[in-house]
């Protein structure tokens, strides 16, 4: 359980990213792009990535959603810059495990992912199962973008 001060700090981080999302806007030179939709609460996101060789140079998003969805997309864009495709996929897997309350595997603890620490403010959504879909929508959209499955919007359902 989070103590009250830590919970308040995490709530402040989420609200800050919701009010002033980082990397919000179009990315015209995107090399990878996908759209996501959460039919439960109407969250929509268009996630765009630009690669420089094997590393992610820029990540931006547009769309509209609840505070959790917007904060998650904003935090995602900060966390991914500089990662390789494989590192982005690993971070996505670990983030989804974090917010769903899955127990990390023994190999997870051996892999240092500093970017995961920046995403911990969203760990509290696991206490609210309906909000997990809001937090994971940008990450499912990321998977669709990097796997080249952008034909139709990815859905949380």
Stretch 1-7: mean pLDDT:
62
Query: Quick check: 101 pLDDT over 60?
Result: yes
Stretch 10-38: mean pLDDT:
93
Strand order in the sheet with 32-38: 55-64, 43-52, 32-38, 154-155
Closest to 150 in 3D by CA, of 49, 19, 4:
49
Query: Quick check: 155 pLDDT over 90?
Result: no
- In this predicted structure, what is the pLDDT of residue 75? 96
Which tokens belong to 64? 């509209």
pTM: 0.89
Assigned architecture for domain 4-155: Alpha-Beta Complex (3.90)
């Amino acid at each position: 359980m989070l103590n009250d001060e830590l919970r308040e700090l995490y709530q402040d981080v989420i609200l800050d990213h919701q009010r002033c999302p980082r990397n919000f806007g179009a990315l015209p030179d995107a090399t990878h792009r996908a759209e996501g939709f959460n039919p439960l609460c109407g969250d929509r996101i268009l996630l765009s990535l630009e690669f420089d060789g094997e590393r992610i140079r820029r990540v931006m998003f547009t769309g509209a959603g609840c505070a959790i969805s917007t904060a998650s997309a904003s935090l995602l864009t900060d966390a991914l810059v500089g990662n390789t495709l494989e590192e982005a996929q690993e971070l996505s897997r670990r983030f989804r495990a974090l917010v769903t309350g899955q127990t990390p595997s023994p190999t997870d603890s051996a892999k240092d992912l500093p970017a995961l620490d920046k995403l911990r403010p969203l760990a509290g959504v696991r206490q609210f199962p309906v909000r997990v879909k809001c937090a994971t929508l940008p990450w499912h959209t990321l998977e669709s973008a990097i796997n080249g499955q952008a034909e139709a919007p990815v859905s949380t359902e």
